[in-house]
Structure 1
Amino acid sequence: MNKAAAFNELIRKVRKDLFSKGPERIHTTFVDNMVICMLYGNMTPTEKFIASDPAGKDMVHAARTKMIQRAYMTDFTEQLEELMGTRLVHLFADMKVEEDIAMSVFVFEDNVQK
């Protein structure tokens, strides 16, 4: 399995464990010391229902982004660092609820394109 596929599998697993549904599709790009992931089809049917209301949309967005940032600061971080061969320094995560697209940018200490 290549590095991008292995990275995607780790991402899918942590999101499935956390939300009981992983993304339907992940597009990952390595740039210098960053890994940029676009994740499509993330929300559960319940989240989609909640997000159909403006207040619910904000609630889903806040819950998803905060939970993801917390989840990546567990033993999952060690798995990412082992796969990439360098230390994870920052994680930026956001989600466009109305389009069910999430984006995560992982910033590592060293170049990940090697």
Structure 2
Amino acid sequence: MTKNIEHQFSMLVREIRKEFVGNGPKEISTRFVGSWAVSEMKGNLTNIEKFMMGSKEGEKMVHEARTGLVKKIYSDLSVRRKFEDLAGAAILRIFSDIDIEADIAMTIFVFDRPLISKEK
């Protein structure tokens, strides 16, 4: 059951990214670790962003634009509520970054309680 929720969480991340960025990551996986949901995304950059990365200035612009946009997306209360409803917990913090050279992004959602209860 946990894997199903992690998959649903990944699909929600993809849906949100697609809605706000115009495309979602090609690969995404989410793992719940205590009160964290860790989403790793590969294949995030658009062809235009890849073209822009031909210079150091372009790389900096793409990185700043991507990280700034993601922060703005997750500051939207209606977006946060979708994740909270799925997880059944409140979001305390969200950390996000992208390695544009490797085209891998990570977002860590920190919730107010553990997302998986340990089975005994």
Pairwise TM-score range, normalised by the shorter structure: over 0.9
Contact 2:7 2:29 in 1 (8 A): no
Alpha-carbon deviation of 1:106? 0.5
Q: Which amino acid aligns with 2:82?
A: Q
Aligned residues: 114
Identify the residue that residue 14 of structure 2 maps to in structure 1.
Answer: 12
The 5 Å alignment of 1:1-114 reads 2-74=4-76, 75-114=78-117
Contact 2:80/2:91 (CA < 8 Å) preserved in 1? yes
Q: What's the Cα RMSD here?
A: 1.1
SS at match of 2:23: coil
Instruction: Look up the equivalent residue of 1:76 and give its one-letter code.
Output: V
Segments of 5+ residues of structure 2 without an aligned counterpart are none
After TM superposition, the score normalised by the length of structure 2 is 0.91
Distance 1:72 1:13 in 2: 13
Percent of paired sites with the same residue: 35
Provide the C-alpha distance between the structure 2 equivalents of 1:23 and 1:72, rounded to a whole number of angstroms: 16
**Which amino acid is the alignment partner of residue 49 of structure 1?**
F
Q: For 1:18 and 1:51, locate their aligned partners in 2 and report how far apart those are by CA, in whole Å.
A: 21
**5+ residue gaps, structure 1:** none
Per the normalisation by structure 1, the TM-score is 0.96
- Write out the 4+ residue segments of structure 1 that deviate beyond 4 Å after TM superposition: none
Equivalent residue letter for 1:80: F
